[in-house]
Chains A and B, each alone.
Chain A
Amino acid sequence: MAEYGHHTEEPTVYGLIAEFDDSDNLLHAAEAAYKAGYRTMDAYSPLPIHGLSEAIGFKKTYVSLITLIGGITGAATGFGMQYFASVIHYDYDIGGKPFNSWPSFMPITFELAILFGAFAALGSMLALNGLPRHHHPVFNAKRFERASSDGFFLCIESEDLQYDTEATKKFLEEQGPVEVSEVLDD
């Protein structure tokens, strides 16, 4: 990727994008592309389409596992800090209760489990999907602004192992798109 403000001699190609006029065609094209062996691709649509993420082979992410680990860490931290404070570091008799009065530790244990879990969920989501970013090569595609109104797009990226400018273009044209065009990298 070129630095902002500079121009390389020959712009590299990000991928090939096909625009479809309805969600059904996009869904079928995505299924066909996955069947044809394409894996590095993305679909863009103005509305959620049931089954589309499965069609392009979207796998379950690690966000839920990282969130669970964050939650357990939070609970352990919350309980550990209170245990350390009231049993080890500053054991103080309060109302004749045992030093390790675990029921009274629970609210903070619970709160920190939620807090760490929420941070882990948000942080891992951003880290794994690469947000926030100010630009994405797919914005270079012709008429891409319609992806937020009435355009349905499927982009096969040049990083795909099976990507071939001619063959991929031919494949996309067979799926009945409105138009197939090349997307340049910045």
Chain B
Amino acid sequence: MSEGTLQMDQTIDNVEHDAVTRKLESQAVRNFKVPETTIKNLKVMLGIGALAAFVGLVFQRENLWASLLVNAYYLIGLGLGAIFFICINYVAASGWSVVTRRVSEAMTGIIPIGALGIGIVLLAGYDIYPAFGEEEHLTGFKALWLRYDFVLVRAVVYIAIWFYFTRAILTNSRQQDHDGNRSHTQKNARLSALFIVLFSLAAWLSSFDWIMSLEPHWFSTIFGVYCFSGFFSSSIAVTIILLVWLQKQGALNGIVTDEHLHDLGKLLFAFTTFWAYIWFSQYMLIWYSDMPEETNYFIVRTGTVWGPLFIFNILLNWLVPFFVLMPARTKRNMGILVKVAIVVLVGHWLDLYLMVYPAISPDTIKFGLVEIGLPIGALGLYGLVTLKKLSEHPLVPIKDPYLQESLHHHQ
């Protein structure tokens, strides 16, 4: 194997090799600056979002909390998908993904902010959860599990797990930039293995607590996997968009190549199909067993009011990425790949909207100022936080032991 790797390295022309080395030492990689106009645009978007939130607070409070839940869960999901991607790469000792890791690391910066949004919903907007009110009478284990104070305690536990493990893994990764010590990689592999287990439990249970409990009589054990498949494919979509953007900025061109993006395209293809698989598994079992407390969820969503959006959701989240990304050449065409990534991101937002809104308003579609303004603000906030994190450290883990393998990655 080592002999083979040596031979492979020799096939890389020296000229090309020098160019990559120079690029790694360049200011664009070591000290990336976000363009002023981008920051300005993102701030304007954040302003629009803040304005919409204020209007919502005064006039449409229920809409505001529901919309805040959708967008906060969307944001925290993007961060969780990114740290999960980092972890599976550490556990699998994968070399190819190393040049993409700093982008994933920057994407985890949104976790505390998403958690703050969820916290506001749970503390101030808990009226949208029937289980915490007076009129809903739950019995047995469900009554105990959905006790308001117990839900709050669990939320703190989930967020603490995500936050502290993410911080520990990122600290090791950044420390390696200075000392180049291989032990950081080993430590992170161990941390990642443990974290994947805890992360999965927390992600699964949190989706029950924060979203499924909007309709407390309905239940679906696969719901956590369904939420995970949605946010994981979206986080791959964001990774693709950010990498292509950084190439266009002249920062990662020559380092992140079509080979890396082709592989991310394959993951996007695979995980959108995984989403469809889980979506269908949930739908078919409920449809087939046809029990009143389960079927109601889909009766509302496939009815005349929400039905068209229900179909549109499958189109965006699966049919488009599946058929467009099937041939190899579309996954190597950055224009097409980025457009599909955007479709998946819009689709995932619609997916969350369809989980939350029909529960609050089964008979009418609510889509107004708050529902348009908050996602714009969320996008602005996400951009500001993620790009700030990106500019704090070199865009590539410069002393990672697998860096050379990643730079010379070929199919």
Contact = CB atoms under 8 A, between A and B. Distances in A.
Interface stretch (A20-28, A85-93, A125-133): A20-28
Contacts of A122: none
B35 interface: no
Interface in A13-72: 22-24, 27, 46-51, 64, 68
A23 B10 contact: yes
A106 interface: yes
A103 interface: yes
A51 to B, nearest CB: 8
A47 B2 CA distance: 12
Contacts of A49: 8, 11
A1 B97 CA distance: 49
A95 B290 contact: yes
A104 interface: yes
B203 to A, nearest CB: 26
Given A50-B410, A95-B290, A104 B284 contact: yes
Nearest to A107: B284
A103 B10 CA distance: 54
- For B7, B10, B326, the residue with the greatest tally of chain A CB atoms inside 10 Å of its CB is B7
A20 to B, nearest CB: 12
Nearest to A149: B3
Contacts of A106: 280, 284
A97 B80 CA distance: 40
Interface in B1-50: 4, 7-8, 10-11
A68 B290 CA distance: 35
B7 A22 contact: yes
Contacts of A104: 284, 288
Interface string A128-164: 0000000000000000000000000000000000000
A174 B326 CA distance: 43
Given A103-B283, A104-B284, A24 B10 contact: yes
Contacts of B328: 64
Contact of A23 (B11, B283, B410): B11
A49 B10 CA distance: 10
B284 A23 contact: no
A47 B328 CA distance: 23
Contacts of A50: 8, 11, 410
B276 to A, nearest CB: 10
B283 A47 contact: no
Contacts of B290: 95, 97
B7 A103 contact: no
Contacts of B288: 103-104
B181 to A, nearest CB: 31
Contacts of A107: 284
A27 B7 CA distance: 12
15 contacts: A22-B10, A23-B8, A24-B10, A46-B4, A48-B410, A50-B410, A64-B327, A68-B326, A95-B290, A97-B290, A103-B280, A103-B283, A103-B287, A104-B288, A106-B280
- List the 4 closest pairs (A to B, CB-CB), nearest first: A50-B410, A47-B4, A103-B284, A23-B11
